[in-house]
Structures are given as structure tokens and as C-alpha cells.
Structure 1
Amino acid sequence: MRFGLLLLSAQFPGRSHSAVLDATVATAVAAEEAGFDDVWVAEHHFMSYGVCPSALTLAGYLLGATRRITVGTAVTVLSTQHPVAVAEQALLLDQVSGGRFRLGVGRGGPWVDLLVFGSGPERRGSGFPESLDLLLAALHGGPVRGAGPLFTFPEVDVVPRPRSGPRPDVVVAATTTATVRLAARRGLPLLLGMHADDAEKAAAVADWERIAGPAAGHVSVGIAHVADTDADAGAELCETLPRWLGPGLAGYRRADGAPHRTRDPHAYAEHLCRIHPVGSPATCRERLTRTAAATGVDHVVLMVEGTGEPDRTAETIRRLGAEVLPHLGVTPTG
């Protein structure tokens, strides 16, 4: 199995943006020291759910701050950026990191971002396949041209050329059947979100495999928190998570101006604690093993900043590295 951390740069009440981002960098360094395989950087705009607006930029910084660990984006929102520009940046990071970069992309939501950046709702909907295909063509090193309907431009070469194989590895975030099947038709593995339980993730993988056949490379996102007992871990997260989830989820604004119905933060926190490795080290080991068996996904990425307290985040990383990962066939290499 492979294990990584998801870095959401979540802003809890009372924490400055500087403190949040400093903690994100420290968490990535701690993950490398604890023996994790990778860290994945999230991207959000105009909201406290996450205060990193450019996953690619932060990924570049983290690649410079680490020496071994892979750094990925989870995700770069393709619907608000030009796909060739994203490919250029990904290829650059692939080159200067010696192949330690991995690109995750997604549609994003129907949020106001589409208006602010001028891409429009069609880029997220019918235009997403065109954006994805242009990205993949550019990641091969080109030449690439835009033949419309959304992108029209003459043939150009792309620099720099790919370093690690035909292109940096790409994974696609998928929360709908349409995106699962689009990724399958392109042979691209899935990034499955932390809101989904094992049965939902297994169904997405099975749908993907009906089109593309059996394949490795899918990534399952979860949340993790370690304490001495299950009760302590669950109680702590159920108290702290809503402080972030409440204002964070309320920050989503639809591009069409329609009201956005948010999840109840307390119920959502309880749901996350129930389906993910939250508990004693033994419970965390059991839940991670169970998820891998149920979904067929052996690459797990965990969000560990659920208390908003850097010291507790560091403790969970340390305990995962020392008391959980070695029992699952992972040898710390930090």
C-alpha cells in the first residue's frame, strides 16, 4: 500500500492565513520524515475551507522544501485555467523535481470562480473533455493546437519536454458517473474524495473498470486522527471539525446565484469519523486495511489537520508513521 497526506490548508477560526500556510509546509516536511510516500495540495478560492488558491504554486514550493517525497495536486481545477498553461507548469515541476511531481485535475464545482476567472460554466460542463484532451496532448510535449470549440489556436510546441516517461502521471478527481467514465475512456486513474464511503468508492472503481479494464493507480482520500482510544479520537474530531466545516462549507457560492445548500457540519464530521481511520492505532490499521479490501484501491491519502492544532497534527503524523504504517507493509524512509 501507498500512503500520503492531503494538505487542505484549512483555516480554523482565529488562525491567520500565514499561520495556516506555514503549518501546511511543516506538515509536508513532517510527512516526509514519517515515511509517507506523498503529499497532495488542494486548491480553493475566496473561502476559508482552504486558503491555497494555487495548488501548482504551493506544490512547487513543497518540492523545494523536501528531498524524497512525491508532491501532487488534489486538485488543480482545470475549468478555471488554460489546459496548456497547466501542462507547461506541470512539465516544469516534473523536470526540476526529478520526476517527483504528480498532477491531479478536476472539473471543480459550479462556483463563482468560473465568473471571476472568465472561463464560464461551459468549461466545467461540456467543455471539460476538450480541456482534458488538450492538457494530455500538451503533457506529451506537443505539438498541440486548439481546434475548438472552446480553444482555437495554431499549432505550438510545448516546453519543457516531459522528463518522467511520456508525461507526468495524471489522476482525475471524480464525484459523478460522467467524470468516472470520461477518466476511464482516457485511461486515467481516479481520485476519490473523502465524502464517499467504501461502497461508493468501490462502485466508482467498478464502473471505471467496465470501460478500461483492471488497473492500478486509483487514489482514495480520507481523514485520519490518532488517539489512545477510539472514543478520544472521535470526540476530539467531532468537536473541532465543525469549527472549520461550518464556515468553510458556507463559503461556496454558486456562479448562477442560486442558494447553495450546505452539509450540516456536525453530521458531516460524524460521518467522516465513522468511515475513515479515526481512533486508536489498531483501529486505524483495521479501517485502512478494510478500505483497501473493499475498494481495491491501495493508495490512500489522508487529511490529518482536523483539529486545527499544529501540535495535534504533528502527533497524528508521528503516530501514523510509527504505529500504523509499519503494520501495513510500509517502511519509514524519512
Structure 2
Amino acid sequence: MRLSVLDLVPVRSDQSTSDALAATRALARTADEAGYHRYWLAEHHNMPAVAATNPPLLIAMVAGATERIRVGSGGVMLPNHAPLVVAEQFALLEAAFPGRIDLGIGRAPGTDPVTSYALRHGAGGVSDDAVAQFPSYVDNVIAMMSPGGVGLQVNGRVHALVATPTATSVPPVWLLGSSDYSAQLAAARGLPYVFAHHFSGNGTDRALDLYRSGFQPSEHLEAPETFLTVNTVVAATQEEAEALALPQIQAMVTLRTGGDLRPQRLIEDAEANPVPDAHLPLVEAMRHRWVIGTPESAAEQLTGLAATYGVDEVMVHPVAGARTGTPVDASPAREETLRLLAKELLA
């Protein structure tokens, strides 16, 4: 089974953005050295605990700090951007790191409504119907990144439009989603697809069934290709793993219940501020979908999930928190999660 990594570049209460970026570079090097297959970076905006605002910049940073691992977006929220800009960014990334770049594309805003407005309209951004135009935007990005580019008709003349002057390779395009929509679009276009199991956890079976049953082979892909994303914490003992998971669990409860968002708490602060009893059912529902445990139990759970959903690759989202006194430019518990899993599953 192949293992990969999803990173949102979390920001703890003791960190600056610079610290969080340094921790991500270290985490990516750990994944690279341990034999992980790919490392994807998300797009989220205006969130105190997430520094992953710009996937192309983060991909360049991570690819430059690693040697062999594939690096990509999980994902670029395409309605926030002009397709040509995305095509240019990823054509250049592929040229700089040939054969190592993935372009994962999503349809969600990745933020709150006010920030979404600022992204799409406040500075002359993309059009009001960007979400409705998502299928054609996907087609445009793929076409623009191709070596031949596209022909753009303006005033009765066709003008050549290419994302980069002389492309020799093109990054694969993945569609991402947490509903049926992207599964059906990926199937119709013959593209690889990933359901956001780590975030939603509901509807994974249905989305993957729709994708596989409706898949149409294309020049991009002959057969369906997908993998599973899972929130994961691994430690030497179950007790330590549970403690390390607590800050992220509390952060997700706050997000789901409309609370005030804040940088991720340190473990001691999370333990001193337990989740209200009214939200404990939500905690249990999330906890049931996550993999939290010792190396042996976590490996068994991940292998079981891969078998259940019929995938040969699992992308872990390492969400282990940190204790007071942890170096601010590192996330040792997240790195240890990757190392311990690799020893069990990649040795």
C-alpha cells in the first residue's frame, strides 16, 4: 500500500506563520526520506490555524526542499482563480520539477463568504458564475497546460494561448470533492478523483461507487484512480495518541459548531478547556472516523480502510498537536506519526 501526506500547514498558538512554514518543510523532508508517495497542500483562506493559503507557492517551497516525493495541491479551489493563472502556475511547477507535480482541483470556496467575495470579486477576480462554470474551467486548465495550448477566438481571429512556451510534460489533474458532483464529473472526464474522507467521512462509499461505475476512459487515464484521505495520529501508546489528537478534535468541533476560530491550542491548553458535554456526540462521531493509536493498531486500521474502499493508496493527514516547550519551527509529533507508520507499512 502506498502512503501519502495531506498538509494544511497548521499554525499553533505558539507559532508565527514563518514557524509553521518551517515545520511544514521539516515534515515534507520526513515524508520524502520515509518513502511516502506524494505530499499535497490545501487551500484555505482567512483561518487563524491554517497557513495553507496559496498551494502553488507552498508546492514550490516543498518541492525545492525534497528530492523524490510527488508534490501537489489538495487542492486548488478553481472558482477562486482564473483558469489561465492556474495553468501557468502548474505548467511552471511541472517544468521546474518534471514528473513530480500533481494538480488537484476543487470546487469549494475554502473560506467564509466575505473572504470568498474578496477572492472572487473584490480585486477584479473571476466571474459571478465561476462555480457554474467549473466543468469548463477544468477543461480550460487542462487544455492550456498541454504543449499545443488552445486557440482563443477574439474579434474574429484565433490567437494561440499556451501556459508556458515549451512544455515537455504536463502534471496530472485530479478532481477533489466532498459530494457526488466532482465524482460524476471526474468519471465523465476520465480523470483521477479523491473524496475528502478526512473532512466529511459521510458519503465516501456512494461517491467512489459513482466514480467507478460512471468512469469513461480518456487520453488522461484508462481506468479509475483514487485513494483515501484520513486524519491520523500515531504515538508509542494509545494514551499519548489520544492526547496528541485533542487540539485538532477541539478545533474541528469549533469549526462545525460555529465557534470562534483560533490558532491550534497546545495540548495542555486543550486539556484545560474540555469540549462541552453538548458537543461530545460530535467528538465521538469524528473520533470514530479518524485513525488514532499505536503504530500497530494504526497500520491495521489504515489497511482495513484501504480494503473497505478498494484503494491501494492512503493519504494521511497528520494532525498530532504539540506540548508546551516544543520548538516553534517544528512539529515533532506529526513527523513521528509519519515515521512510525512508514516503519509498519513501507518497510
The TM tier, using the shorter chain, reads 0.7 to 0.9
TM-score by length of structure 2 reads 0.80
Secondary structure class of the residue paired with 2:341: helix
Give the aligned partner of residue 219 of structure 2: none
Q: 1:245 aligns with which of 249, 252, 270?
A: 252
Following the alignment from structure 2 to structure 1, what is the Cα–Cα distance between the partners of residues 168 and 254? 41
Alpha-carbon contact 2:45-2:115 (below 8 Å) kept: yes
Give the aligned partner of residue 208 of structure 1: 211
TM-score by length of structure 1 reads 0.83
Following the alignment from structure 1 to structure 2, what is the Cα–Cα distance between the partners of residues 302 and 23? 17
Following the alignment from structure 1 to structure 2, what is the Cα–Cα distance between the partners of residues 267 and 235? 18
Q: 1:172 to 1:11 in 2, by over 3 A?
A: same
Following the alignment from structure 2 to structure 1, what is the Cα–Cα distance between the partners of residues 33 and 241? 23
Give the aligned partner of residue 320 of structure 2: 306
Deviation at 1:266, TM superposition (A): 5.9
Deviation at 1:71, TM superposition (A): 0.4
Q: 1:265 to 1:159 in 2, by over 3 A?
A: farther
Alpha-carbon contact 1:140-1:161 (below 8 Å) kept: no
Give the aligned partner of residue 258 of structure 1: none
Q: 1:133 aligns with which of 135, 139, 142?
A: 139
Mark the runs of 5 or more structure 2 residues left unpaired by the alignment. 217-221, 262-277, 324-330
Give the aligned partner of residue 172 of structure 1: 175
Give the aligned partner of residue 108 of structure 1: 108
Alpha-carbon contact 2:38-2:71 (below 8 Å) kept: yes
Q: Moved runs in structure 1, 4+ residues, more than 6 A?
A: none
Give the aligned partner of residue 230 of structure 2: 222
Alpha-carbon contact 1:143-1:158 (below 8 Å) kept: yes
Deviation at 1:267, TM superposition (A): 5.1
Letter in 1 for 2:223: A
**Which structure would you say has the larger Rg?**
2
- Percent identical among aligned pairs is 28
Letter in 2 for 1:63: A
Bigger mean CA offset, 106-115 vs 86-95 = 106-115
Following the alignment from structure 1 to structure 2, what is the Cα–Cα distance between the partners of residues 305 and 179? 26
Following the alignment from structure 1 to structure 2, what is the Cα–Cα distance between the partners of residues 5 and 142? 33
Following the alignment from structure 2 to structure 1, what is the Cα–Cα distance between the partners of residues 115 and 151? 26
Query: Residue deviations 1:124-151, cap 9 Å, x none?
Result: 2x11112111111112234324579xxx
Give the aligned partner of residue 288 of structure 1: 302
Q: 2:162 aligns with which of 149, 157, 161?
A: 157
Deviation at 1:38, TM superposition (A): 1.4
Alpha-carbon contact 1:91-1:161 (below 8 Å) kept: no
Letter in 2 for 1:115: Y
Following the alignment from structure 1 to structure 2, what is the Cα–Cα distance between the partners of residues 130 and 272? 35
Query: Residue deviations 1:84-125, cap 9 Å, x none?
Result: 21111111111111211111010123733431122355212x
Letter in 2 for 1:186: R
Deviation at 1:158, TM superposition (A): 3.2
User: 1:27-46 counterparts in 2 under 5 A?
Assistant: 27-46=27-46
Give the aligned partner of residue 67 of structure 2: 67
Following the alignment from structure 2 to structure 1, what is the Cα–Cα distance between the partners of residues 22 and 280? 27
Secondary structure class of the residue paired with 1:224: strand
Q: 1:248 to 1:14 in 2, by over 3 A?
A: farther
Cα RMSD, aligned residues only? 2.7
Give the aligned partner of residue 189 of structure 1: 192
Mark the runs of 5 or more structure 1 residues left unpaired by the alignment. 253-263
Q: 1:229 to 1:209 in 2, by over 3 A?
A: same
Letter in 2 for 1:159: T
Secondary structure class of the residue paired with 1:30: helix
Alpha-carbon contact 1:49-1:247 (below 8 Å) kept: no
Aligned residues: 307
Following the alignment from structure 2 to structure 1, what is the Cα–Cα distance between the partners of residues 281 and 230? 16
Letter in 2 for 1:200: G
Following the alignment from structure 2 to structure 1, what is the Cα–Cα distance between the partners of residues 39 and 279? 25
Q: 1:246 to 1:289 in 2, by over 3 A?
A: closer
User: 1:74-113 counterparts in 2 under 5 A?
Assistant: 74-109=74-109, 111-113=113-115
Alpha-carbon contact 1:48-1:247 (below 8 Å) kept: no
